[in-house]
Structure 1
Amino acid sequence: MIVITTPTGQIGRQVLDKVLDGGEPIRVIARDPSRLSPRVRERVEVVPGSHDRLDVLTEALDGADAVFWLVPPDPRADSVEGHLLGFTRPFCEAIEKQGVQRVVGVSTLGRGVAENAGQISAALAMDELIERTGVGYRALQMPGFMENMLQQVGAIRSQGTFYLALSGDHKNPTCATRDIAAVAAELLLDDSWSGQEGVPVLGPEDLSPNDMARIMSEVLGRPIRFQQVSGAAYKATLVRNGLSEPWAQGLADMTAAIDRGLYNARPHTPRSTTPTGFRQWCEEVLKPAVEQNGS
Protein backbone atom coordinates (compact mmCIF):
# COMPACT_ATOMS: atom_id res chain seq x y z
CA MET A 1 0.00 0.00 0.00
CA ILE A 2 1.31 3.43 -1.04
CA VAL A 3 -0.05 6.53 0.71
CA ILE A 4 0.10 9.91 -1.03
CA THR A 5 -0.21 13.22 0.81
CA THR A 6 -1.18 16.45 -1.04
CA PRO A 7 -2.76 14.48 -3.93
CA THR A 8 -4.25 17.64 -5.47
CA GLY A 9 -1.12 19.77 -5.03
CA GLN A 10 1.40 20.75 -7.69
CA ILE A 11 3.80 17.88 -6.95
CA GLY A 12 1.49 15.41 -5.21
CA ARG A 13 -0.96 15.14 -8.10
CA GLN A 14 1.89 14.37 -10.50
CA VAL A 15 3.25 11.71 -8.15
CA LEU A 16 -0.21 10.19 -7.93
CA ASP A 17 -0.60 10.13 -11.70
CA LYS A 18 2.70 8.29 -12.05
CA VAL A 19 2.02 5.60 -9.42
CA LEU A 20 -1.59 4.90 -10.41
CA ASP A 21 -0.54 2.42 -13.07
CA GLY A 22 2.20 0.83 -10.98
CA GLY A 23 0.09 -2.07 -9.77
CA GLU A 24 0.15 -1.11 -6.09
CA PRO A 25 -2.94 -0.23 -4.04
CA ILE A 26 -3.06 3.52 -3.46
CA ARG A 27 -4.51 5.54 -0.60
CA VAL A 28 -4.58 9.33 -0.49
CA ILE A 29 -5.12 11.87 2.27
CA ALA A 30 -7.21 14.73 0.90
CA ARG A 31 -8.46 17.77 2.76
CA ASP A 32 -11.04 18.27 -0.01
CA PRO A 33 -11.76 14.96 -1.78
CA SER A 34 -14.04 16.71 -4.29
CA ARG A 35 -10.91 18.17 -5.93
CA LEU A 36 -9.78 14.68 -6.95
CA SER A 37 -10.57 13.78 -10.53
CA PRO A 38 -13.23 11.08 -11.18
CA ARG A 39 -10.45 8.86 -12.62
CA VAL A 40 -8.54 9.10 -9.34
CA ARG A 41 -11.56 8.60 -7.09
CA GLU A 42 -12.42 5.40 -8.96
CA ARG A 43 -8.98 3.91 -8.39
CA VAL A 44 -7.79 4.98 -4.94
CA GLU A 45 -8.93 4.82 -1.36
CA VAL A 46 -9.52 8.28 0.08
CA VAL A 47 -9.01 9.30 3.70
CA PRO A 48 -10.54 12.77 4.14
CA GLY A 49 -8.83 15.30 6.37
CA SER A 50 -5.60 17.16 6.93
CA HIS A 51 -2.32 15.28 7.32
CA ASP A 52 -1.30 17.33 10.34
CA ARG A 53 -3.84 15.39 12.42
CA LEU A 54 -2.78 12.24 14.23
CA ASP A 55 -6.17 10.53 13.86
CA VAL A 56 -6.19 11.11 10.09
CA LEU A 57 -2.60 9.91 9.73
CA THR A 58 -3.18 6.86 11.91
CA GLU A 59 -6.11 5.80 9.72
CA ALA A 60 -4.33 6.53 6.46
CA LEU A 61 -1.08 4.76 7.37
CA ASP A 62 -2.76 1.54 8.55
CA GLY A 63 -1.15 -1.18 6.43
CA ALA A 64 0.99 1.30 4.48
CA ASP A 65 4.36 0.19 3.14
CA ALA A 66 5.46 3.51 1.63
CA VAL A 67 4.40 7.15 2.01
CA PHE A 68 4.92 10.23 -0.13
CA TRP A 69 5.35 13.07 2.37
CA LEU A 70 5.03 16.77 1.60
CA VAL A 71 4.18 19.57 3.99
CA PRO A 72 2.15 22.22 2.12
CA PRO A 73 3.28 25.82 2.62
CA ASP A 74 1.22 28.19 4.71
CA PRO A 75 2.22 31.76 3.82
CA ARG A 76 0.18 33.08 6.74
CA ALA A 77 1.78 30.87 9.40
CA ASP A 78 3.14 32.60 12.49
CA SER A 79 6.24 30.35 12.49
CA VAL A 80 7.98 28.63 9.58
CA GLU A 81 9.54 25.85 11.60
CA GLY A 82 6.43 25.58 13.78
CA HIS A 83 4.33 24.99 10.67
CA LEU A 84 6.55 22.25 9.21
CA LEU A 85 7.10 20.46 12.49
CA GLY A 86 3.42 20.81 13.40
CA PHE A 87 2.73 18.47 10.48
CA THR A 88 5.77 16.27 11.01
CA ARG A 89 5.45 15.40 14.71
CA PRO A 90 2.10 13.55 14.39
CA PHE A 91 3.37 11.96 11.16
CA CYS A 92 6.36 10.52 13.00
CA GLU A 93 4.10 9.18 15.74
CA ALA A 94 1.86 7.55 13.15
CA ILE A 95 4.63 5.92 11.11
CA GLU A 96 6.10 4.39 14.27
CA LYS A 97 2.70 3.16 15.42
CA GLN A 98 1.74 1.68 12.05
CA GLY A 99 5.13 0.23 11.15
CA VAL A 100 5.64 2.11 7.87
CA GLN A 101 8.79 0.89 6.11
CA ARG A 102 9.65 3.68 3.66
CA VAL A 103 9.02 7.42 3.35
CA VAL A 104 9.84 9.62 0.35
CA GLY A 105 9.80 13.27 1.45
CA VAL A 106 10.03 16.59 -0.37
CA SER A 107 12.92 18.40 1.28
CA THR A 108 15.67 20.74 0.07
CA LEU A 109 19.32 21.16 -0.68
CA GLY A 110 21.49 22.59 2.05
CA ARG A 111 22.04 19.84 4.58
CA GLY A 112 25.25 20.45 6.48
CA VAL A 113 25.69 23.98 5.14
CA ALA A 114 22.40 25.82 5.77
CA GLU A 115 22.44 28.41 8.54
CA ASN A 116 19.62 30.86 9.22
CA ALA A 117 18.07 29.85 5.90
CA GLY A 118 14.37 30.24 6.63
CA GLN A 119 12.22 27.58 4.97
CA ILE A 120 15.34 25.58 4.07
CA SER A 121 16.40 25.30 7.72
CA ALA A 122 12.87 24.27 8.69
CA ALA A 123 12.77 21.55 6.02
CA LEU A 124 16.07 20.14 7.28
CA ALA A 125 14.67 20.07 10.82
CA MET A 126 11.74 18.11 9.37
CA ASP A 127 14.16 15.57 7.88
CA GLU A 128 15.92 15.10 11.19
CA LEU A 129 12.64 14.46 12.99
CA ILE A 130 11.61 11.80 10.46
CA GLU A 131 15.02 10.14 10.54
CA ARG A 132 14.87 9.77 14.33
CA THR A 133 12.04 7.27 13.89
CA GLY A 134 14.41 4.90 12.07
CA VAL A 135 12.11 4.62 9.04
CA GLY A 136 13.66 4.10 5.62
CA TYR A 137 13.81 7.65 4.27
CA ARG A 138 14.69 9.28 1.00
CA ALA A 139 14.78 13.07 1.33
CA LEU A 140 14.37 14.60 -2.13
CA GLN A 141 16.81 17.50 -2.11
CA MET A 142 15.76 20.24 -4.49
CA PRO A 143 16.78 23.76 -5.40
CA GLY A 144 14.14 26.26 -6.52
CA PHE A 145 11.36 25.00 -8.76
CA MET A 146 10.97 26.31 -12.30
CA GLU A 147 7.27 26.64 -11.51
CA ASN A 148 8.09 29.43 -9.05
CA MET A 149 8.44 31.66 -12.10
CA LEU A 150 4.69 31.33 -12.68
CA GLN A 151 4.17 33.67 -9.73
CA GLN A 152 5.58 36.44 -11.94
CA VAL A 153 3.57 35.79 -15.09
CA GLY A 154 1.77 39.13 -14.76
CA ALA A 155 4.99 41.15 -14.53
CA ILE A 156 6.58 39.17 -17.35
CA ARG A 157 3.61 39.84 -19.63
CA SER A 158 2.97 43.48 -18.75
CA GLN A 159 6.47 44.75 -17.94
CA GLY A 160 8.78 42.28 -19.66
CA THR A 161 10.53 41.92 -16.30
CA PHE A 162 10.87 39.44 -13.46
CA TYR A 163 12.19 40.25 -10.00
CA LEU A 164 14.32 38.24 -7.58
CA ALA A 165 16.48 39.06 -4.57
CA LEU A 166 19.39 37.23 -6.22
CA SER A 167 22.53 38.37 -7.99
CA GLY A 168 22.04 38.47 -11.74
CA ASP A 169 25.13 36.42 -12.61
CA HIS A 170 24.99 33.82 -9.80
CA LYS A 171 24.26 30.42 -11.35
CA ASN A 172 22.07 27.95 -9.41
CA PRO A 173 20.45 24.63 -10.23
CA THR A 174 16.71 24.65 -10.86
CA CYS A 175 14.30 21.78 -11.47
CA ALA A 176 10.84 21.11 -12.85
CA THR A 177 8.16 19.62 -10.60
CA ARG A 178 7.48 16.91 -13.20
CA ASP A 179 10.98 15.57 -12.58
CA ILE A 180 10.58 15.69 -8.81
CA ALA A 181 7.40 13.63 -9.20
CA ALA A 182 9.13 11.12 -11.47
CA VAL A 183 11.93 10.53 -8.95
CA ALA A 184 9.43 10.22 -6.09
CA ALA A 185 7.22 7.77 -7.98
CA GLU A 186 10.16 5.56 -8.89
CA LEU A 187 11.20 5.33 -5.24
CA LEU A 188 7.65 4.68 -4.04
CA LEU A 189 7.23 1.77 -6.46
CA ASP A 190 10.60 0.24 -5.51
CA ASP A 191 10.42 -1.87 -2.35
CA SER A 192 14.09 -2.89 -2.44
CA TRP A 193 15.63 0.09 -0.65
CA SER A 194 16.12 0.80 3.03
CA GLY A 195 18.17 3.13 5.20
CA GLN A 196 18.27 6.89 5.01
CA GLU A 197 19.86 9.20 2.45
CA GLY A 198 19.30 12.34 0.45
CA VAL A 199 18.46 12.25 -3.24
CA PRO A 200 19.44 15.47 -5.05
CA VAL A 201 17.16 16.54 -7.92
CA LEU A 202 19.15 19.23 -9.72
CA GLY A 203 17.80 19.58 -13.24
CA PRO A 204 20.22 19.44 -16.21
CA GLU A 205 21.94 22.83 -15.85
CA ASP A 206 22.84 25.70 -13.55
CA LEU A 207 21.49 29.08 -14.68
CA SER A 208 21.74 32.65 -13.44
CA PRO A 209 18.74 35.00 -13.50
CA ASN A 210 20.37 36.72 -16.49
CA ASP A 211 20.61 33.34 -18.25
CA MET A 212 16.92 32.77 -17.54
CA ALA A 213 16.04 36.20 -18.93
CA ARG A 214 17.88 35.40 -22.16
CA ILE A 215 16.13 32.04 -22.58
CA MET A 216 12.73 33.53 -21.76
CA SER A 217 13.31 36.29 -24.32
CA GLU A 218 14.09 33.73 -27.00
CA VAL A 219 11.11 31.52 -26.16
CA LEU A 220 8.59 34.35 -25.75
CA GLY A 221 9.88 36.24 -28.78
CA ARG A 222 10.32 39.57 -26.98
CA PRO A 223 12.80 41.12 -24.56
CA ILE A 224 12.56 39.91 -20.98
CA ARG A 225 14.90 41.35 -18.38
CA PHE A 226 15.84 40.46 -14.83
CA GLN A 227 15.71 43.07 -12.06
CA GLN A 228 17.44 42.39 -8.76
CA VAL A 229 15.70 43.72 -5.65
CA SER A 230 17.05 44.01 -2.14
CA GLY A 231 16.16 41.50 0.55
CA ALA A 232 14.29 44.19 2.46
CA ALA A 233 12.27 45.20 -0.61
CA TYR A 234 11.52 41.54 -1.36
CA LYS A 235 10.24 40.95 2.16
CA ALA A 236 8.15 44.15 2.11
CA THR A 237 6.51 43.09 -1.17
CA LEU A 238 5.67 39.67 0.26
CA VAL A 239 4.05 41.23 3.34
CA ARG A 240 2.04 43.63 1.16
CA ASN A 241 0.83 40.61 -0.78
CA GLY A 242 -0.58 39.01 2.36
CA LEU A 243 2.23 36.82 3.70
CA SER A 244 2.83 36.77 7.42
CA GLU A 245 5.91 38.58 8.67
CA PRO A 246 7.60 35.32 9.82
CA TRP A 247 6.92 33.57 6.50
CA ALA A 248 8.19 36.56 4.50
CA GLN A 249 11.29 36.83 6.71
CA GLY A 250 11.93 33.13 6.18
CA LEU A 251 11.80 33.53 2.42
CA ALA A 252 14.13 36.53 2.60
CA ASP A 253 16.59 34.58 4.76
CA MET A 254 16.34 31.60 2.40
CA THR A 255 17.05 33.76 -0.65
CA ALA A 256 20.05 35.36 1.02
CA ALA A 257 21.45 31.90 1.82
CA ILE A 258 20.95 30.80 -1.79
CA ASP A 259 22.78 33.88 -3.01
CA ARG A 260 25.67 32.95 -0.71
CA GLY A 261 25.98 29.64 -2.59
CA LEU A 262 23.90 27.23 -0.52
CA TYR A 263 22.49 25.47 -3.61
CA ASN A 264 25.96 25.05 -5.12
CA ALA A 265 27.26 22.66 -2.47
CA ARG A 266 26.06 19.53 -4.30
CA PRO A 267 27.64 19.02 -7.74
CA HIS A 268 25.72 17.50 -10.63
CA THR A 269 26.09 13.75 -11.05
CA PRO A 270 24.39 11.43 -13.57
CA ARG A 271 22.00 10.38 -10.81
CA SER A 272 21.07 13.91 -9.71
CA THR A 273 20.72 15.36 -13.21
CA THR A 274 17.06 15.33 -14.25
CA PRO A 275 15.92 15.80 -17.85
CA THR A 276 13.71 18.89 -18.10
CA GLY A 277 15.72 21.96 -19.05
CA PHE A 278 14.60 25.53 -18.47
CA ARG A 279 14.12 26.19 -22.19
CA GLN A 280 11.84 23.18 -22.56
CA TRP A 281 9.91 24.21 -19.46
CA CYS A 282 9.49 27.74 -20.80
CA GLU A 283 8.18 26.41 -24.11
CA GLU A 284 5.76 23.94 -22.53
CA VAL A 285 4.64 25.75 -19.37
CA LEU A 286 5.66 29.40 -19.13
CA LYS A 287 4.82 30.50 -22.67
CA PRO A 288 1.23 29.12 -22.57
CA ALA A 289 0.74 30.71 -19.14
CA VAL A 290 1.94 34.11 -20.37
CA GLU A 291 -0.22 33.89 -23.50
CA GLN A 292 -3.28 32.81 -21.51
CA ASN A 293 -2.72 35.59 -19.00
CA GLY A 294 -2.68 38.10 -21.81
CA SER A 295 -5.77 36.85 -23.62
Structure 2
Amino acid sequence: MTIAVTTPTGNVGRHLLRLVVQAGERPRVLVRDPERLDEAARGFVDAVATDQLDTESVVRATAGVEAVHWIVPPSGLDDPLEGYRRATDALLAAVRENGIRRVVFQSSSGAERRHGAGEIDGLAATEVALDDAGVDVTHLRCGYFFSNLLFDLDSLKAGTIATAFDVDAPMPWVAPEDIAAVAAVRLLDRSWSGRHVQAVHGPEDLSFRDVAAIVGDAVGRPIDVVQLGDDDVRATLTAAGMTPAQVEALVGMTAGIRDGYTPENPRDYTTTTPTTLAGWVPANLVPLLR
Protein backbone atom coordinates (compact mmCIF):
# COMPACT_ATOMS: atom_id res chain seq x y z
CA MET A 1 0.00 0.00 0.00
CA THR A 2 1.22 3.49 -0.83
CA ILE A 3 0.15 6.09 1.71
CA ALA A 4 0.42 9.80 1.04
CA VAL A 5 1.03 12.14 3.97
CA THR A 6 0.53 15.90 3.61
CA THR A 7 2.02 18.70 5.76
CA PRO A 8 4.73 16.36 7.13
CA THR A 9 6.46 19.21 8.98
CA GLY A 10 3.29 20.41 10.72
CA ASN A 11 2.04 19.84 14.24
CA VAL A 12 0.08 16.72 13.26
CA GLY A 13 1.91 15.64 10.10
CA ARG A 14 5.33 15.20 11.69
CA HIS A 15 3.93 12.83 14.30
CA LEU A 16 1.86 10.96 11.72
CA LEU A 17 4.87 10.51 9.45
CA ARG A 18 6.85 8.77 12.18
CA LEU A 19 3.94 6.48 13.08
CA VAL A 20 3.38 5.41 9.48
CA VAL A 21 7.09 4.68 9.02
CA GLN A 22 7.23 2.78 12.31
CA ALA A 23 4.34 0.64 11.05
CA GLY A 24 6.58 -0.55 8.22
CA GLU A 25 5.25 1.65 5.42
CA ARG A 26 7.27 3.90 3.14
CA PRO A 27 4.92 6.85 2.70
CA ARG A 28 4.77 9.31 -0.16
CA VAL A 29 5.31 12.71 1.42
CA LEU A 30 3.64 15.70 -0.23
CA VAL A 31 5.60 18.73 0.93
CA ARG A 32 5.94 22.24 -0.43
CA ASP A 33 9.69 22.29 0.17
CA PRO A 34 11.38 18.90 0.61
CA GLU A 35 14.38 20.63 2.22
CA ARG A 36 12.21 21.40 5.24
CA LEU A 37 11.56 17.72 5.88
CA ASP A 38 13.21 16.29 9.00
CA GLU A 39 16.60 15.07 7.83
CA ALA A 40 16.30 11.92 9.93
CA ALA A 41 13.10 10.95 8.07
CA ARG A 42 14.37 11.41 4.53
CA GLY A 43 15.72 7.90 4.08
CA PHE A 44 12.38 6.35 5.02
CA VAL A 45 10.00 8.30 2.78
CA ASP A 46 9.55 9.38 -0.82
CA ALA A 47 9.27 13.16 -0.79
CA VAL A 48 7.54 14.96 -3.66
CA ALA A 49 7.50 18.75 -3.96
CA THR A 50 3.80 19.56 -4.09
CA ASP A 51 1.60 22.64 -4.12
CA GLN A 52 -1.67 21.46 -2.59
CA LEU A 53 -3.54 24.36 -4.19
CA ASP A 54 -2.46 23.28 -7.67
CA THR A 55 -4.43 20.48 -9.29
CA GLU A 56 -1.71 19.32 -11.67
CA SER A 57 0.84 19.21 -8.85
CA VAL A 58 -1.40 17.12 -6.56
CA VAL A 59 -2.46 14.71 -9.32
CA ARG A 60 1.15 14.13 -10.30
CA ALA A 61 2.27 13.64 -6.69
CA THR A 62 -0.42 11.08 -5.86
CA ALA A 63 -0.09 8.75 -8.85
CA GLY A 64 -0.23 5.19 -7.52
CA VAL A 65 -1.39 6.23 -4.06
CA GLU A 66 -4.01 4.08 -2.33
CA ALA A 67 -4.72 6.20 0.77
CA VAL A 68 -4.06 9.82 1.65
CA HIS A 69 -4.15 11.85 4.81
CA TRP A 70 -5.26 15.30 3.71
CA ILE A 71 -4.56 18.42 5.74
CA VAL A 72 -5.16 21.76 4.05
CA PRO A 73 -2.13 23.97 4.82
CA PRO A 74 -2.41 27.73 5.34
CA SER A 75 -2.73 29.16 1.84
CA GLY A 76 -1.65 32.73 2.51
CA LEU A 77 -4.36 33.89 0.09
CA ASP A 78 -6.28 37.08 0.77
CA ASP A 79 -9.41 34.92 1.13
CA PRO A 80 -8.70 31.73 3.15
CA LEU A 81 -11.88 30.08 1.89
CA GLU A 82 -10.55 30.37 -1.66
CA GLY A 83 -7.54 28.38 -0.50
CA TYR A 84 -9.80 25.60 0.74
CA ARG A 85 -11.72 25.60 -2.54
CA ARG A 86 -8.55 25.27 -4.59
CA ALA A 87 -7.14 22.54 -2.37
CA THR A 88 -10.42 20.63 -2.51
CA ASP A 89 -10.52 20.83 -6.29
CA ALA A 90 -6.97 19.45 -6.42
CA LEU A 91 -7.78 16.58 -4.05
CA LEU A 92 -10.93 15.60 -5.94
CA ALA A 93 -9.05 15.55 -9.23
CA ALA A 94 -6.40 13.30 -7.68
CA VAL A 95 -9.03 10.95 -6.26
CA ARG A 96 -10.74 10.75 -9.64
CA GLU A 97 -7.72 10.46 -11.91
CA ASN A 98 -5.54 8.26 -9.71
CA GLY A 99 -8.25 6.03 -8.24
CA ILE A 100 -7.33 6.86 -4.64
CA ARG A 101 -9.40 4.48 -2.53
CA ARG A 102 -9.42 6.08 0.89
CA VAL A 103 -9.06 9.57 2.32
CA VAL A 104 -8.52 10.48 5.96
CA PHE A 105 -9.42 14.16 6.12
CA GLN A 106 -8.40 16.39 9.01
CA SER A 107 -11.49 18.47 9.67
CA SER A 108 -12.69 20.26 12.80
CA SER A 109 -15.41 20.42 15.35
CA GLY A 110 -17.96 22.81 13.90
CA ALA A 111 -17.69 21.52 10.35
CA GLU A 112 -21.04 19.80 10.81
CA ARG A 113 -22.63 23.27 10.90
CA ARG A 114 -21.68 23.59 7.21
CA HIS A 115 -22.08 27.40 7.29
CA GLY A 116 -21.48 30.18 9.78
CA ALA A 117 -18.16 29.10 11.29
CA GLY A 118 -15.66 31.24 9.41
CA GLU A 119 -12.61 29.33 8.25
CA ILE A 120 -14.18 26.04 9.36
CA ASP A 121 -16.68 26.55 6.52
CA GLY A 122 -13.80 25.68 4.19
CA LEU A 123 -13.33 22.35 5.94
CA ALA A 124 -17.08 21.74 5.82
CA ALA A 125 -17.11 22.30 2.06
CA THR A 126 -14.30 19.75 1.67
CA GLU A 127 -16.27 17.23 3.72
CA VAL A 128 -19.31 17.72 1.48
CA ALA A 129 -17.24 17.43 -1.70
CA LEU A 130 -15.60 14.18 -0.55
CA ASP A 131 -18.98 12.75 0.45
CA ASP A 132 -20.41 13.62 -2.95
CA ALA A 133 -17.42 12.05 -4.69
CA GLY A 134 -18.30 8.67 -3.20
CA VAL A 135 -14.76 8.00 -1.97
CA ASP A 136 -14.21 6.00 1.21
CA VAL A 137 -13.54 8.77 3.71
CA THR A 138 -13.04 9.35 7.40
CA HIS A 139 -13.51 12.93 8.57
CA LEU A 140 -11.52 13.64 11.73
CA ARG A 141 -13.48 16.29 13.64
CA CYS A 142 -10.74 17.62 15.90
CA GLY A 143 -11.04 19.71 19.03
CA TYR A 144 -9.01 22.82 19.87
CA PHE A 145 -5.30 22.10 19.46
CA PHE A 146 -2.96 22.38 22.45
CA SER A 147 -0.44 23.79 19.98
CA ASN A 148 -2.62 26.86 19.40
CA LEU A 149 -1.08 28.13 22.63
CA LEU A 150 2.21 28.47 20.74
CA PHE A 151 0.68 31.42 18.88
CA ASP A 152 0.32 33.27 22.21
CA LEU A 153 3.89 33.10 23.50
CA ASP A 154 4.35 36.85 23.91
CA SER A 155 1.09 37.15 25.81
CA LEU A 156 1.88 34.16 28.00
CA LYS A 157 5.34 35.53 28.78
CA ALA A 158 3.58 38.69 29.96
CA GLY A 159 1.34 36.60 32.20
CA THR A 160 -1.93 36.66 30.26
CA ILE A 161 -3.94 34.59 27.85
CA ALA A 162 -6.52 36.47 25.78
CA THR A 163 -9.42 34.93 23.89
CA ALA A 164 -12.77 35.72 22.32
CA PHE A 165 -14.10 32.36 23.51
CA ASP A 166 -16.19 32.32 26.68
CA VAL A 167 -13.40 31.96 29.24
CA ASP A 168 -15.55 29.79 31.52
CA ALA A 169 -17.08 27.48 28.88
CA PRO A 170 -15.39 24.06 28.64
CA MET A 171 -14.62 22.68 25.19
CA PRO A 172 -12.55 19.79 23.81
CA TRP A 173 -8.78 20.40 23.78
CA VAL A 174 -6.52 17.87 22.04
CA ALA A 175 -2.82 17.15 21.51
CA PRO A 176 -1.71 17.10 17.85
CA GLU A 177 0.13 13.83 18.45
CA ASP A 178 -3.14 12.20 19.53
CA ILE A 179 -4.78 13.33 16.30
CA ALA A 180 -1.84 11.78 14.44
CA ALA A 181 -2.35 8.48 16.26
CA VAL A 182 -6.02 8.30 15.28
CA ALA A 183 -5.17 9.26 11.70
CA ALA A 184 -2.45 6.59 11.52
CA VAL A 185 -4.85 3.86 12.63
CA ARG A 186 -7.37 4.87 9.96
CA LEU A 187 -4.72 5.11 7.24
CA LEU A 188 -3.19 1.74 8.02
CA ASP A 189 -6.48 -0.13 8.41
CA ARG A 190 -7.54 -1.57 5.05
CA SER A 191 -10.82 -3.02 6.32
CA TRP A 192 -13.11 0.01 6.45
CA SER A 193 -15.15 1.57 3.67
CA GLY A 194 -17.87 4.18 3.22
CA ARG A 195 -18.20 7.45 5.09
CA HIS A 196 -17.14 7.84 8.71
CA VAL A 197 -16.90 10.74 11.12
CA GLN A 198 -14.36 10.30 13.91
CA ALA A 199 -14.22 13.05 16.51
CA VAL A 200 -10.92 13.57 18.37
CA HIS A 201 -11.65 15.38 21.64
CA GLY A 202 -8.60 14.95 23.84
CA PRO A 203 -8.91 13.63 27.41
CA GLU A 204 -11.17 16.33 28.87
CA ASP A 205 -13.08 19.50 28.15
CA LEU A 206 -11.31 22.61 29.41
CA SER A 207 -12.24 26.27 29.69
CA PHE A 208 -9.64 28.95 29.01
CA ARG A 209 -9.65 29.61 32.74
CA ASP A 210 -8.73 25.96 33.29
CA VAL A 211 -6.01 26.23 30.67
CA ALA A 212 -4.56 29.36 32.30
CA ALA A 213 -4.38 27.53 35.64
CA ILE A 214 -2.63 24.53 34.08
CA VAL A 215 -0.08 26.70 32.28
CA GLY A 216 0.42 28.83 35.39
CA ASP A 217 1.16 25.76 37.51
CA ALA A 218 3.69 24.57 34.95
CA VAL A 219 5.57 27.88 34.67
CA GLY A 220 5.33 28.69 38.37
CA ARG A 221 3.53 32.00 38.05
CA PRO A 222 -0.10 33.03 37.62
CA ILE A 223 -1.57 33.44 34.15
CA ASP A 224 -4.49 35.85 33.93
CA VAL A 225 -7.36 35.35 31.49
CA VAL A 226 -8.49 38.30 29.37
CA GLN A 227 -11.92 38.16 27.71
CA LEU A 228 -11.91 39.81 24.28
CA GLY A 229 -14.84 40.91 22.17
CA ASP A 230 -15.03 40.08 18.49
CA ASP A 231 -14.39 43.71 17.58
CA ASP A 232 -11.25 43.68 19.75
CA VAL A 233 -9.99 40.71 17.74
CA ARG A 234 -10.89 42.40 14.46
CA ALA A 235 -8.93 45.48 15.42
CA THR A 236 -5.87 43.47 16.46
CA LEU A 237 -5.83 41.31 13.34
CA THR A 238 -6.41 44.28 11.05
CA ALA A 239 -3.55 46.16 12.71
CA ALA A 240 -1.36 43.11 12.08
CA GLY A 241 -1.99 43.51 8.34
CA MET A 242 -4.58 40.82 7.69
CA THR A 243 -7.08 41.28 4.88
CA PRO A 244 -10.79 41.71 5.74
CA ALA A 245 -11.51 38.15 4.55
CA GLN A 246 -8.69 36.72 6.67
CA VAL A 247 -9.96 38.63 9.69
CA GLU A 248 -13.55 37.47 9.28
CA ALA A 249 -12.45 33.87 8.72
CA LEU A 250 -10.76 33.83 12.14
CA VAL A 251 -13.42 35.83 13.99
CA GLY A 252 -16.17 33.69 12.46
CA MET A 253 -14.37 30.49 13.39
CA THR A 254 -14.34 31.41 17.06
CA ALA A 255 -17.95 32.59 17.01
CA GLY A 256 -19.06 29.50 15.12
CA ILE A 257 -17.89 27.09 17.83
CA ARG A 258 -18.73 29.44 20.70
CA ASP A 259 -22.24 30.80 20.32
CA GLY A 260 -24.81 28.12 21.08
CA TYR A 261 -22.66 25.35 19.63
CA THR A 262 -22.75 21.74 20.80
CA PRO A 263 -20.54 19.23 18.94
CA GLU A 264 -22.46 16.75 16.83
CA ASN A 265 -20.15 14.01 18.07
CA PRO A 266 -20.42 13.61 21.86
CA ARG A 267 -17.49 12.78 24.08
CA ASP A 268 -17.30 9.03 24.57
CA TYR A 269 -14.79 6.19 24.57
CA THR A 270 -14.15 6.52 20.83
CA THR A 271 -13.52 10.28 20.82
CA THR A 272 -11.39 10.58 23.96
CA THR A 273 -7.59 10.53 23.58
CA PRO A 274 -4.97 10.20 26.34
CA THR A 275 -2.54 13.13 26.29
CA THR A 276 -3.41 15.71 28.96
CA LEU A 277 -2.64 19.40 28.69
CA ALA A 278 -0.86 19.18 32.05
CA GLY A 279 1.44 16.57 30.54
CA TRP A 280 1.91 18.37 27.23
CA VAL A 281 2.70 21.86 28.51
CA PRO A 282 6.00 21.14 30.35
CA ALA A 283 7.61 19.53 27.29
CA ASN A 284 6.19 21.71 24.54
CA LEU A 285 5.33 25.12 25.98
CA VAL A 286 7.34 25.79 29.11
CA PRO A 287 10.78 25.74 27.38
CA LEU A 288 9.53 28.49 25.04
CA LEU A 289 8.39 30.68 27.94
CA ARG A 290 11.72 30.81 29.74
TM bucket (normalised to shorter chain) is: over 0.9
User: Normalising to structure 1: TM-score of the pair?
Assistant: 0.93
Stretch of structure 1 that moved more, 220-229 or 279-288: 279-288
Stretch of structure 1 that moved more, 239-248 or 162-171: 239-248
Whole-angstrom distance in 2 between the partners of 1:40 and 1:216: 32
Q: Alignment identity in percent? A: 35
- Residue 197 of structure 1, CA deviation: 1.3
Structural mapping, 1:1-295, within 5 Å: 1-74=2-75, 76-113=76-113, 115-157=115-157, 159-262=158-261, 264-291=263-290
Letter in 1 for 2:40: R
Q: Deviations over 1:47-79 (max 9, x none)?
A: 1131222222222221111101011123x4222
5+ residue gaps in structure 1?
none
Q: Tell me how large the CA RMSD over aligned residues is.
A: 1.5
- Residue 263 of structure 1, CA deviation: 5.0
Letter in 2 for 1:126: T
Q: Deviations over 1:242-276 (max 9, x none)?
A: 32221111111111122214254432110100111
Q: Deviations over 1:156-187 (max 9, x none)?
A: 11x21010001221111111111111111111
* SS of equivalent to 2:285: helix
5+ residue gaps in structure 2?
none
- Residue 217 of structure 1, CA deviation: 1.6
Letter in 1 for 2:38: S
- Residue 107 of structure 1, CA deviation: 0.4
Stretch of structure 1 that moved more, 7-16 or 109-118: 109-118
Whole-angstrom distance in 1 between the partners of 2:138 and 2:97: 20
- Residue 114 of structure 1, CA deviation: 5.1
Q: How many residues align?
A: 289
Maintained 8 Å contact 1:3/1:28: yes
Q: Deviations over 1:172-225 (max 9, x none)?
A: 111111111111111111111111111100011111111111122211111111
Whole-angstrom distance in 1 between the partners of 2:281 and 2:39: 30
- Residue 111 of structure 1, CA deviation: 4.1
* SS of equivalent to 1:163: strand
Maintained 8 Å contact 2:101/2:135: yes
Shift in CA distance, 257/241, structure 1 to aligned 2, threshold 3 Å: same
Q: Deviations over 1:29-62 (max 9, x none)?
A: 1211111123322121121131222222222221
Whole-angstrom distance in 1 between the partners of 2:168 and 2:178: 25
* SS of equivalent to 2:22: coil
Whole-angstrom distance in 2 between the partners of 1:113 and 1:60: 32
Whole-angstrom distance in 2 between the partners of 1:25 and 1:215: 38
Whole-angstrom distance in 1 between the partners of 2:207 and 2:39: 41
Whole-angstrom distance in 2 between the partners of 1:140 and 1:155: 30
Letter in 1 for 2:80: V
Whole-angstrom distance in 2 between the partners of 1:265 and 1:25: 35
* SS of equivalent to 1:192: coil
